[in-house]
Structure 1
Amino acid sequence: MVELKCLVTLFQIAVSVLFDLGVVARSQVRPQPIWNSTHTDQLRRDLLLNYDKFARPAQHYNVTRVKLGLTIRHVEVNEFKSTLTVYSWFKMSWDDEKLRWDPSKYGDINILNLADHELWQPDIFLYNSATGTSVSHYNSHCIVYSNGNVLWVPPAQFAVLCNLNLKYWPFDWQHCTLKFGSWTYSGDQIDLEIFNNSSGGGVELDMLIENSEWKIRSASIVKNVTYYACCKEPYPDVSVDIILDRISPSYKAVIVTPVVVIVFLILLTFWLPPNAGEKIILNGCTAIVVCLFMLYFTQKMPAMGTHTPLIVLFYSSCLYIVAFSTISSVIVITISRSKHANALPWVIKQRLMGNFGKYLGLTTYIRQSSISVHRVTAEEMRDHQVTDFDDVHVGEEHGIVRSLHSEKMPHQEDWILLAAAIDKISFVAYSLLFAILAIVYSV
C-alpha cells in the first residue's frame, strides 16, 4: 500500500515537471500570426514587447536632452480674460535608447511610425497656462529613427496668461511669454535645448495665418536655467517671447475721427450768438454722442483698474468739458437776454471797447454798441424839454428818434458785449485745454 502511494506521488511530480517544461518551451517560441507578417510587424514586436512607456529611456545617471521648437499658425487675444491663445505645431525631439535597431535585420527599415501612447514622452508643460493642461496632441504619431531619435510634432493650442497693457489702446502692442519646462524632472534628468530650424531659431512663422486684428512683430525663443533655494540641481525652461501689434486703421475711423468732430462741436458753441438757445441743444447732442461712445467702450474692453486706455480718459474728459460748456452757455444766454437796470462797470467796458475786445474778435458787438439808436415817445421829449429839432426826426409811428449825440448807450448792448466776450474767452481757454489733453493723452 505504501509502495502504491509512492508511485502515485512520483507520477504526479513527473506530470507537473513535464507541464512546466512545456510552458517554458512555448514561451520561448515566438507566436506566429495567421497572416504573413512584415518587417514592420517584427520590428514593432521586438521594440515594444517589454517596453515600459512610463520609465525614462536612459540610465538614471544619464541626461535625456529634449529639443523644443514652435511653429505658430494663428494667435488670438482675449482682453476680458487677459489671455493669449496660440495655435501652433509644437516640435519635440529626444533620444530613446530603448528604440534602437539594426536596419539590415528588418528589411532596411530606418524610420518607424509609432502612436504617441506607445512610447515614453517628456512631461513638458506650459508653466503659465491659463487652462492647466499640457500639450494637446490629438493622438498624433511620433517618428522614430533607427538610431533611437524620436521626433514628435503634435498640433497644440496654448492659452497663456498675459499681462495686457491697454493704456495706448487702440494703438497698443502686447508682450506675452510662453514658458515651457518639465513638470517633474530636474535638469540632471531632462535638459532642454532649442530646436534649430532653417531660419536659425526655434520659432517659425512661415505658416502663419494672418489675424484681422493682430500681427506678430517678432517671436523669439530663449533657454533659462533656474536654481531654487531648496535644491542644488538646475531646473531649465524654454521661454517663447511674442510681441504683437494691434492693427488699428479701422479704429481710427471708428474712434479717432468722432473725437475730432466732438471737439469741434464743443468749440463751435462759443461762436454762436450770445443769446442763441441753440447752444444748449448743441451741447446736449454732443453729450449724448460722448455717452454712447462710453457705452461702446464698456462693451469693447474690460474694466481696467491700472491700465485705463488714454482714449477712454479723453472721452470722459470731453464729457466733463461739455458739462462745463453747458453751464457757461446758460450763463451767457442769461446775461444777454436779461433786462439789466444797472450799467456795465466802466472798468470792464473800457477793456472790452479797447484793443482787448478787438483781439477777442468783438468788433461787430463794439460797433453795435457805438451806433445804437433808441426810439422815444413825444411825451419823453416833452419831459426832457427837447427844443433842438435839428437833432430829432419824426417817424411813421409818430415817435421821435434821438440820435447818439443826445443820449447815452443803452445798458443792454453793453451786457451783450460782455456775454460775447465770455464766449470768446471760453473758446480760447477750451482750445488750450483740448491741446493740453491731446498732448498728455498721446504721450
Structure 2
Amino acid sequence: MTVVLSISSLAFCMAIIRSGYCIVDINGKSVDNNEAAVELTRSRITTEKRLRSYLFEHYDRKVRPSGNKTDTVSVYVSMMLLHIEGINEQRQVLRVHTWTSFRWNDVRLVWDSSEYANITTLHTADEELWLPDITLYNNAEGKDIHNFGSTTIMVQSNGDVVWVPPASFSAQCNMNFDTWPRDKHRCHLLLGSWTQHGFDLDIQLDDAEAGIDTRNFVQNDQWLLTNVSATRTQVFYPCCVEPYVSVSFTLQLRRNPSHYFHTLVLPVIILLIASWFLFIIPDYRFRLLVGLLEILALSGESIFLYSVAPPSTGTPPIVRLVAFSIGFVLYALVLCMILDAVRRCSKPLPKWIQATFNPKMGFILLLPSTSTAPEQFSENRGKDGDKEFLTVDFERENNPQQELTGNDIALQRSWKIFTDILSRICLLHYAIGSTILIIFLW
C-alpha cells in the first residue's frame, strides 16, 4: 500500500522524522502531530539535562582544561574590528569596539553524541566554564581589566570550545602630535595572560595572515584606518625559565584633516593672500587699518587653534603657519610705513633714478608713464596735467597755505613713481615669500 502525505504533514514530518516521531496513517494524515512535537521537545530537554549533568557534575571552572598539570593549554585568538570610537588626545588613549574570538580544547567536555540523541553542540553560559585569563596589557582604565562582555559559549562534542565575547578596549598609545592635524599613529592592542606563563597557557593567533577582520568595520569620520596587522610575541625574562606569550593587534590610523583645513588653514591662507593688497592700496591710513584688522583676525585664529590643538612636544605646522602669517602681515605694515615715508621725501631724486631706473622698471612692472623730467611740468598743463593737478590738490589738502610750483610737482611725481616701483617690488617678494610659507608649512 502506498502512503501519501499531505503537504502540511510532510513539512512537519521531515523536521522530526530523524527522531522517529512522525506517525502517519495509511490515508496520508498525520496522527497526534502536537503530541509528537511535545514528546520530541521533552526528549531533547531530558537528553540535554542528562548531558549537562554528565559534563558539569564534577566540573571545576577554576582548573585548567588539561589532562595533567604539565600539559599546555593552547588558546587561539582572533579579532573582528567593529568601530573606532575615537582617541582621547589629552590622555593618549584609543577606544575601540571589537568581537574577540577565543578557541581552545577542554578534555573534560568530550562526549559521545550517539549516546545523547546526536547532540553535537552545546550552548552554555560563560560563567559555567573555565575561561583563559587573557586581558589587555596596555589597558588605560586603571584597575578595571575586565574588557570582555558576558555571552554564551559554544561547546563541541570533541571538547572544542568557542567563545566570542564583545569587547571594548581603551588602549594606551604612544602618540606624537607634532604634525597635527595631519598626524598618523600606530596603536597596539596587546593581549596576554595575566597570571600564567607560556608552559601553562600558550596563546596563538587563529589567523596570523588575516591579522584583524575588518569586514564589518564602520569607519570613523575623524580617524581613517589605513592598515591592520597581528603578531605573536614570546618573551623570556632573566628571573624565569618560562616564556611569556602575548599577541599584538596593531591599528594604523590617520587623522582626516579636511575639517581643520576649512576651519583653520583656509582662513589663514585667505588672510595672508589678502595682505598682498596692502602694497596696492593708495591711501596709507587705509593700508594701516586693513593691516591691523588682518592681525586681529589672525590673532583670533591663534586663540581658536590653542583651544583645539592637542599638547605636543614640538610645534605643529599649522601653529607655525598662523604665527608666521602674523609676522608676515606685521612685516608688510612696516614696509608700507617705509614706502610712505619715501613717498613724502622732499629731497631731490637722484638723476640716474629719474632717467634710468624709473622708466625701465616702470616698463617692466607695467606701471603707467614714468617720465619725470622737470621741464615737462608747469602749473597750467591743461588736460595733460590732470594727474599733476590731482597731486597738487592732495598736497594742498595737507598744506593748504603752500603753493606748489611746476618743479615741486615734478619732484613729488618722481618720488611717487619711485615709491610705486618699490611697492611693486615689495609686493612680488612678499607674495613669493608667503606662497613658499603656505606650501612648506601645510
Q: TM-score range by the shorter chain?
A: 0.7 to 0.9
The reply to whether residue 91 of structure 1 matches residue 101 of structure 2 is yes
Contact 1:136 1:154 in 2 (8 A): no
Give, as a single letter, the amino acid of the residue that structure 2 aligns with 1:355: K
Q: Which amino acid aligns with 2:161?
A: V
8 Å contact kept, 1:80–1:301: no
Q: Structure 2 vs 1, CA of residues 268 and 101 (structure 1 numbering), >3 Å: closer, same or farther? A: same
CA RMSD of the aligned region, Å?
Answer: 2.9
Matching of residue 186 in structure 1 with residue 197 in structure 2:
yes
Q: Take 2:309 and 2:179, find their aligned partners in 1: how far apart are those partners?
A: 13
Alignment of 1:217-236 (within 5 A): 217-236=226-245
Equivalent-residue separation in structure 2 for 1:366 and 1:281 (angstroms): 29
Cα offset for 1:137? 2.7
Q: Are residue 170 (structure 1) and residue 204 (structure 2) matched? A: no
Q: Which residue of the partner structure matches residue 299 of structure 1?
A: 307
Which residue does 1:55 correspond to in 2? 63
Q: What is the rounded CA distance, in whole Å, between the counterparts of 2:172 and 2:356 in structure 1?
A: 63
- Which of 307, 326, 333 aligns to 1:326? It is 333
Counterpart in 1 of 2:370? Answer: 366
CA distance in 1, matches of 2:77, 2:429: 61
Partner of 1:272: helix, strand, or coil? coil
Q: Which amino acid aligns with 2:252?
A: I
CA displacement 1:160-205 (0-9 Å, x = unmatched): 12233334433443322211111211111111111139xx524111
Structure 1 residue 152 displacement after superposition: 0.8
Question: 1:60 & 1:351 partners in 2: Cα distance?
Answer: 101
Match of 1:43 among 29, 46, 51: 51
1:302–1:246 distance in 2 versus 1, CA, 3 Å = closer
Give yes or no for contact 2:136–2:147 (8 Å, CA) kept in 1. Answer: no
1:63 shift after superposition: 0.9
Distance 2:337 2:90 in 1: 42
Question: What is the DSSP-based 3-state SS (H/G/I as helix, E as strand, rest coil) of the residue aligned with 1:297?
Answer: helix
1:372 to 1:253, Cα distance in 2 relative to 1, 3 A: farther
> How far does the alpha carbon of each residue in 1:365-420 deviate from its partner, in whole angstroms, 9 at most, with x for none?
734676873549xxxxxxxxxxxxxxxxxxxxxxx9976xxx47644334334433
Alignment of 1:10-29 (within 5 A): none
Amino acid at match of 1:226: V
> Of 238, 248, 253, which aligns to 1:244?
253
**TM-score scaled by structure 2?**
0.76
Measured in 2, the distance between the counterparts of 1:62 and 1:38 equals 35
Q: Distance in 2 between matches of 1:369 and 1:131?
A: 83
**What residue is the counterpart of 1:141 in the other structure?**
152
Letter of the 1:39 partner, please give it.
T
Partner Cα distance (1:423, 1:226) in 2: 69
Find the aligned partners of 1:370 and 1:293 in 2 and give their Cα distance: 50
Task: Give 1:381's aligned residue.
Answer: none
What per-residue deviation string (whole Å, max 9, x for no partner) do you get for residues 258-290 of structure 1?
2331222111211222x4322112212222222
- TM-score w.r.t. the length of structure 1 is 0.76
Letter in 2 for 1:434: S
Q: Does 1:355 align with 2:349?
A: no
* Secondary structure of 2:322's aligned partner: helix
User: Residues 408 and 69 from structure 1, CA distance in 2 versus in 1: closer, same or farther, beyond 3 angstroms?
Assistant: same
1:155 counterpart = 2:166: yes
Select which of 267, 272, 280 maps to 2:288: 280
Name 2:319's counterpart in structure 1.
312
Q: What does residue 138 of structure 2 align with? A: 128
Aligned match for 2:119, one of 109, 113, 118: 109
Amino acid in the other structure paired with 2:222:
E
Structure 1's unaligned 5+ residue stretches are 1-34, 377-399
What secondary structure sits across from 1:366 in the alignment? coil
Match of 2:428 in 1: 428
Give me the whole-angstrom Cα distance separating, in 2, the residues matched to 1:435 and 1:351. Answer: 31
| Contact residue 221 and residue 239 of structure 1 kept, 8 A | yes
Match of 1:188, SS state, is coil
- The whole-number CA distance in structure 2 between the counterparts of 1:370 and 1:242 is 76
Name the SS for the 1:295 alignment partner.
Answer: helix
Q: Which amino acid aligns with 1:260?
A: I
Given residue 370 of structure 2, which amino acid in structure 1 is its aligned partner? Answer: I
Shift of 1:91: 0.8
